[in-house]
Every structure is written in structure tokens, then in C-alpha cells.
Amino acid sequence: MFYYKITNIPRYISHKELFKVIKEQIDLSNNRHKLSYKPNSEHAKLICHQEIPTVTELIIKKNICNIVQSEEPFIDKNKKFKNVILQPKSEYDIRNSVTPLWNMPYENQIEHKKTQIEKFYKRKIEYFKTTKFERNNFQFRFGFDHLNIPMLGYLSKIYIHEHNLVFDVQNCNNISPKLIEKINVIKNLISDKPALIYDSQSRTGFFRSLLVRNFNEEYIALLQLYDPNYEFLSFLKNNADYECGEKKSLFLENYKIIKLFPFDNLHIQCFNARFNGFVPSKTFSIRGDNHLHYKILDRTFKVSFFSFFQTNLATAENLCIKLREHQFKNKKLYDFCCGSGFFSIILSNYFRAIIGVEIENSSIEDALVNININEIKNIKIVKDDVTKFQTDISDFSLIPQIELNPIVNKSCDTELLNEKKNTEIINNFLEKTIQNQIDIKEEKNNSQSQSLFSFKDDNIEKCSMILDPPRRGVSKKTIQNIRKNDNINEIIYISCDYKASYGNILDLCKNTSNSYKNEPFRIQKVLAFDMFPNTENSEVVLILIR
């Protein structure tokens, strides 16, 4: 294998364009090769089976790009190269992966991150520090440490060959001391039970991952299990009535261990796919609730296992304060990728009518509950893909309100293993959802409520938009639809990865063309918030107008 690094790549070139230029200027016809390049990055990696002729530069869009051979192979998570030189596992500090700036004074971190963002956008920005360094959402993996002792901790992307290697989180400063105590209890429970640990290669074992969310001193925990034939699940449901032969004593022992996990709100999820991670699916209660209530400013939010929510509550609160201070241009708001309704609910007093658009069922359920909890009447939630949703509907009253059914999403609800509590909670849930349906139907028949979403005055036909997409941003089609709508003249674009979503910003600001209709947006202001302290990442808020 031969490894080459290409630097000084123009920011706007795509992977396809770069690949075409390389093949035009370097003969790769009989040489197996792979190009690793992320759009908007200034460098790329070219991996070849044979050495290429001496080339020191490439001409890309009149830019001179350097190409140099690398002596050491790149660490690639998709391709398992051999002979990668790594630091001994016993000496590796997991903080270098999860919080790479942990050893840098905080004031220096802020200056460093602010400088990077200003360089990227080529303008001055406002950067807001955090007062809290701990996350409220975690995913831990069960595996083995460098001594092959069962461990609950973090994976490291550096050791790509070690599929079951996890590192102790004892020194991680993004985890509260209270949660570290709970992790230590679990470590002690599994330390002499290697057979319990799921092996992703041999597809054996039992404990896979642990998802934890917390607010103040309250926790919810979801234990992910490997149970390919759902035998353990059947055992839990039927207990003594379940005929499982020799496995019954094993299942009983495993259940006793799970019961000792130090969480008042503990659920399990059986997940048998090869993918390592959490996906929304049915959960089963060992004890307690499957959600928390977060308090942000004067609003309360129900957050369940699979809901998207800000990872740093102190920074999220500061972000909300700044949004409320902003002088919005309009009285109508679209909230795309609205999740659990966070920004819609925070800003509900600042708009006459708000339409939230979301595709994920569990998030929609939480959004409807959150609207109900906060007694808000001027928000409608629409289940739709933001790519397909028609933003050219000027009369918000024409947009149907989604109804909260007793079971919004069967694949994401929780089945309780305790029959008495199961009955109690389901009855409470039905009571709330039935009342919510009555409220919605009354609103539909109430002209005063309906008028919240009807606009006859041309002066308030214009709309603002909150766009808080996933890390990668939204599709070009979505941006084209937004550009096409004359009524949208203000966008608050919120990004947790400003480099990955930069393509969206470019498309919003592109000159008018057949693909991008109407007047382009322009960046009015850039704010950045330290949502991820001790890392290179920041939450960036761009205010765009036209």
C-alpha cells in the first residue's frame, strides 16, 4: 500500500470533481486506489496499491494543491489496514478521544475555537462560554480493557482493529462524579463475568451497551442486550411459566445482576443487528420511568431515551436567552427538524403561529406532550420529511394538526414487566392523550384558536424559519424549496458541526439560478456556543436574511 496526502484543496470542490481531476492528472488505470475526502475539507487521502509516478502538485480550479507521500498508513475506520503503529493500550488516555482539549486551559480553548470559526466564516463572531462541563446524554459500551477484564466505558476510534476494546471513563471530565460512581458499581458487577460481555465478532455474550440520560440528580438508563431468539425477554415476561430448560438458571442469574444496576429508572432493549449503537425500538421496563423532565428557563420538556435534546443544559439555556433577545422580523415561524419541539416551545411567546416539521415518531410524541405540558396553543406539529414539506403554504390554518394517539409509535413504546405498574402508567397515559385529542378537536372547532394560524394582513405574510438539522445538514432539495418560497425572509440556522453543514449555507447564499430561485440569503450574524467543552466542536447559530 502507498499513502498520499493532498493538501490546499479549494473549499467548494466535491468528491466527484476531485476524483475526476486526480484521474486526469495521475495515471491510475492499472492501479487500485481509494480516495478519502470530506467536502469542504482542505485535505484528502489517496491510497494506492502501487506507487504512483513522481507528482508533487495538482492543479484544481486554478489552485495549486500539494501531494506528498506519507510514510505511515492512515487510520481509516472503513478499511482495516495492517501494521498501524499505535500507542500501547495500557498508556492510552481515552480523554484524548472524547475530550481532546482536556489538557488545555479553558480560556485558551475558547480563544482557539473562536479563532477557528472566524477563520472558517471569514468574519468576526460572538462566542459564548459555558458554566457546565458535563454532558446529559451518554452511550457506554460493554467490552474488555487492555488486560482483558470486563469493562463498561468508552470505545476509541483509534484502535479500529480492537472491536471489543473499551477504556475506563474514571478520569473523563464530561461525566459527573455521581454517574462515575454508578458506572463503577456496574464494573464491579461484571468484572468476573466475561461471558456476559457481547463480542461483536463472534456474536456471543449478552450485555452490549448502556444509554444514560440525566437531569440534575435524576437518571434514566437503557441497557441494550443481545438476545437473538428473544429467549431472555420471554423469560422476563413469563418468569416461572417459561420453559427454557438449563437456561432458566442462567437467565435468573443475569436478571439478578441487571436488578443491581444503580438506576431508579431502568429499562432494557433487545437489539440483535450487527450495528453497534442505539436505534428507536421497543423497550421493556425493569423499574421506573422511560423519560425525564428537563427545565429550561420557564419551559418544561419531556425527554425520552431516543429524543434529540441539547447535550449541555447550561449552554442550551444561554442559547435560548440569545434567541429570545433576537428581534425576529416576522410573526410566523417554521421550525424544521423540530425534534421534541424545543425551539418552538421556547419561542412560542414571540410568534403568533409556529409550524414544527419532524419525521421521527418518538420525537413527535415528545413534542406533542411538551406542547401540552406547557399549555401552548399556537404550535402545530406536522409529521413529514422536510425535503417534501411544502413551505409555500402562506395560510398556516390549512396545515393539519397531527393528533396524539394513545400509542403514537408501537415500535418505540415501552412495555412494563410489572403488571400492576403497567396498568397504572398506561391508564395515566391514555387519560392524558385522550384529553389532548379533545383539546385538539376543540381547537379545530374554535374560531378564536383557528385565527392564530390565519393571516389576512399582507404585512405579516412573511415567515421566519428555525433550521436545526442533523450533523450533516439537510438535502439540496430542501434548500431549493426554501429558496423558492418568497415568504421566508429570515433563517436561524443552528449547527452542531459547522463544517459539515457549510454546503447548506453556501446553497442558501448562492446567486440566483435555475436551481436556486429567488433572492439569495446573506449572513447577518454568527454566534457560537460552547455546547461541547474540551472538544473542537461548537454549536454555531447563523442568522440569515434576504
Task: Give the C-alpha separation, 208 to 269, whole Å.
Answer: 10
The reply to whether 320 belongs to the active site is no
Strands 63-70 and 2-7: antiparallel
- Of 258, 278, 303, the closest CA to residue 417 belongs to 258
Task: Give the C-alpha separation, 108 to 533, whole Å.
Answer: 12
User: How close are the terminal C-alpha atoms of the chain, in Å?
Assistant: 51
**All cell numbers assigned to 520:** 439569495
Sign of CA dihedral 476, 43, 123, 130: positive
Task: Give the C-alpha separation, 454 to 254, whole Å.
Answer: 58
- Measure Cα distances from 320 to 46, 132, 308, 345 in Å: 43, 16, 16, 10
Among 48, 320, 337, 496, the active-site one is 496
Q: Report the Cα 278 to chain-centroid distance in Å.
A: 11
Contact 524, 504 (CB under 8 A): no
Contact 328, 348 (CB under 8 A): no
Was 310 annotated as part of a binding site? yes
Was 298 annotated as part of a binding site? no
| Beta strands per DSSP E along 43-105 | 43-48, 57-60, 63-70
Strands 218-225 and 33-36: unpaired
Was 134 annotated as part of a binding site? no
* Residue 325: partners with Cβ closer than 8 Å, 6 or more residues away: none
10 Å Cβ neighbour count for 362?
22
Contact 191, 148 (CB under 8 A): no
The binding site comprises 310, 358, 468
Q: Which residues are identified as catalytic?
A: 496
Q: Which residues are annotated as a binding site for S-adenosyl-L-methionine?
A: 310, 358, 468
